[in-house]
A and B are shown apart, each in its own frame.
Chain A
């Protein structure tokens, strides 16, 4: 049973979040282990499996980007870990800037100075970070906007193309995220307790 089927939904990306949540609560009331503590062990194991499947499905479907990632996995089929579907890829039009940023980051890391960055270099990186964030948001808008609509509207033939476009956009997004995180780390040295967090 895939995540869409858990909620009785067709394999479409346009999902009404309020409706999904309502259904999630309703199904939770039926299958949560807390409400079946007195059941025999086999029934409890069953309920645990159903509940775990429901929660994993809700997690994957409630966020529009995670939903797309899941759809790609589902459509591509997935075998061993080596067959991971999305590898981060630099956006081609930004290759020159990326090289520049990586150089600046390297410099910052090897510097002996506490904080690692001179004011000038720092300001330059802040500007770069803003540009990358804008590009990142643009990629997300493309994913949840036109591409999502294209999937829901398209027939089988068009959908193959949409999956390829999804993969491309997800790869670029993943790459931008890594660079932005690296920038945050370099810039955030002075911020107390800052930890670079992987986004999902």
Chain B
């Protein structure tokens, strides 16, 4: 069997990993700069497409055409996401059940954006192995529904990958831990990432990893922490500087990145400061860990209910859990660790890097599928009940949540009118009584039924949830033993034709010149630096001597001239030179901002006394 890699397609970062045959252990593949994490960000420019760190640098420069956190939109309808669209600087439009992102005159679907990330990881793996990589295991949040899983599979196909398996992230993590740390017992995996939360409870015994129950929230993660901080900062800025920045796309991105960075620092430090130079003023503020915790406490606490529900479904009490494993970057937040420890009454494991453990587990599962590991077996479950709509809009459950997959169910259908040739059915996923409160998966039309009196035809419909957690439906007319035709109208998702077209478009795009791409990147970087220096000279030019000002101006002019050429090396060296020329200016400005902040705080303290 050919090589299969494991990919963690994350909200914030993505990774690719494989199992090293010589050690039998999974390893992540770094890029040529040694970075394992690829930011899941794609920037669309007229000249080409940037991905990863290069795209991340465009967040502030080109907020309207730089797409991040697209995982939150995968397999979703407009109604599902409209509440949070105000946080995205790019435009999201409803489109036949799914959403599309508008970039200039183009409309791009979430799977196409994810495909750019996947393709970059595919190329990274190919460079590493020196041979083509065509097969992958891709992870998804355990609580992803059928549409979200299908969208992820589509993204893989558009990227030119055969997705041999969709694996749940917490279970993948348990495989990585199982290989290295945990041999036996009941394990709870608490996985809080950038945009999604999962809790899975497993029994590990003799190489079998049996998921007992899973629960979660596919719209809760570190992004939401950042948003809470940004909203708070906006208020603070309005108070101090009498300006509301909520509608300024560039400022909002600056704020978001600063909030994220401050949140990360507060995981190790008790207090931190953020300084953001805007055009008109420089904003400075100190933030303590206690303040952060007040902002995110409600969000962190909302992860506890899914944990209790998973325990109840598994028929277990918190004290029955032998080991707790933390997965996902957001589990570095001390408040999260504290809450998990309180709930389960034990200190959670975090020996494996929470950013990498899912990709490592995906690589283990890939190795199992390739036949490289035969003593480990993962028995995963379907997270949501599957049912069909019956009379009065009531859901009749065919497959209960937390059933081990693959699994199947059969249901008999008949006609209600003489000579009826077709039967419709509506398949939904969810735990509520009424179909309208559940997630609509698809409408099926059984056709080609022979004309018979009402109630005579006997059509057996088979529902199969495969090992990816994706539904397949088949139908058979029992009297004639003929397979009935089924037309599937997925409620949310791409049609087969759409995906085919995207695969083709993507291949033509793949031939784009690497050098051209690098040139765009260099120019973009130059633009960013030019803007920053212009702003710095305007705000802090008076803080340095005339000679230094002159030197900065000369370096600035040199970069402007280089920017106009096609010489990438020249653009890069002049960019570095300008950066060096302004190092001192940046320091002086930071000092001034800090002094200003201290002075205003002293004034506050005096007022209080």
Contact = CB atoms under 8 A, between A and B. Distances in A.
Interface stretch (A54-62, A102-110, A151-159): A54-62
A34 B467 contact: yes
Given A48-B466, A81-B390, A197-B309, A25 B208 contact: yes
B433 interface: yes
Contact of A55 (B377, B378, B403, B455): B403
Contacts of B408: 49, 52-53, 56
Contacts of B432: 195-196, 198
Given A35-B374, A200-B397, A193 B302 contact: yes
A56 B396 contact: no
A59 B385 CA distance: 13
Contacts of A196: 432
B370 interface: yes
Nearest to A49: B408
Contacts of B400: 59, 200
B467 A33 contact: yes
B1 interface: yes
Contacts of A78: 412
B305 interface: yes
B302 A28 contact: no
Contacts of B206: 25
Contacts of B276: none
Contacts of B411: 81
A80 B1 contact: no
Given A37-B370, A200-B397, A193 B305 contact: yes
Interface string A167-200: 0000000000000000000000000111111101
Given A25-B208, A34-B467, A200-B397, A55 B407 contact: yes
A53 B403 CA distance: 12
B164 interface: yes
Contact of B406 (A25, A33, A81, A200): A33
A51 interface: yes
B404 interface: yes
In terms of DSSP, what is the predominant structure of the interface of chain B?
mixed
A25 B407 contact: no
B464 interface: yes
B371 interface: yes
A32 interface: yes
Interface string B380-403: 000001000010000011011001
A197 B164 CA distance: 33
A200 B385 CA distance: 10
A29 interface: yes
B433 A34 contact: no
A28 B397 contact: no
A37 to B, nearest CB: 5
Nearest to A33: B467
Contacts of B365: 34
Given A25-B205, A34-B377, A58 B404 contact: yes
Contacts of B301: 192
Interface string B466-477: 110000000000
Interface residues of B, number: 45
Question: Which of A51, A55, A78, A79 counts the most B-chain CB atoms under 10 A from its CB?
Answer: A55
Contacts of A1: none
A48 B405 CA distance: 10
Interface string B355-384: 000000000010011110010011100000
B409 interface: yes
B414 A34 contact: no
A58 B309 CA distance: 21
Contacts of A192: 301-302, 305
Contacts of B1: 37-38
Nearest to A50: B406
Interface string A114-128: 000000000000000
Question: Which of B1, B407, B413 counts the most A-chain CB atoms under 10 A from its CB?
Answer: B407
A65 B314 CA distance: 15
Nearest to B468: A33
A167 B379 CA distance: 33
Contact of B164 (A37, A52, A53, A200): A37
B445 interface: no
Interface in A14-39: 25, 28-29, 32-35, 37-38
Nearest to A37: B369
A21 to B, nearest CB: 8
Nearest to B404: A55
Contacts of B455: 80
B431 interface: yes
A79 B412 contact: yes
Nearest to B405: A55
B293 to A, nearest CB: 18
A58 B206 CA distance: 19
A55 B405 CA distance: 7
Contact of B407 (A35, A37, A59, A79): A59
Given A32-B379, A194-B305, 5 more contacts: A33-B406, A34-B378, A37-B164, A81-B413, A197-B309
Interface of B: 1, 164-165, 205-206, 208, 210, 301-302, 305, 309, 365, 368-371, 374, 377-379, 385, 390, 396-397, 399-400, 403-409, 411-414, 431-433, 455, 464-467
23 contacts: A25-B208, A28-B379, A34-B365, A34-B369, A34-B467, A37-B1, A37-B370, A38-B1, A38-B371, A48-B464, A48-B466, A52-B464, A55-B405, A56-B399, A56-B403, A80-B414, A81-B390, A81-B396, A192-B301, A192-B302, A193-B305, A197-B309, A198-B433
List the 7 closest A-B pairs by CB distance, nearest first: A52-B408, A55-B404, A55-B407, A52-B406, A59-B403, A80-B412, A200-B400
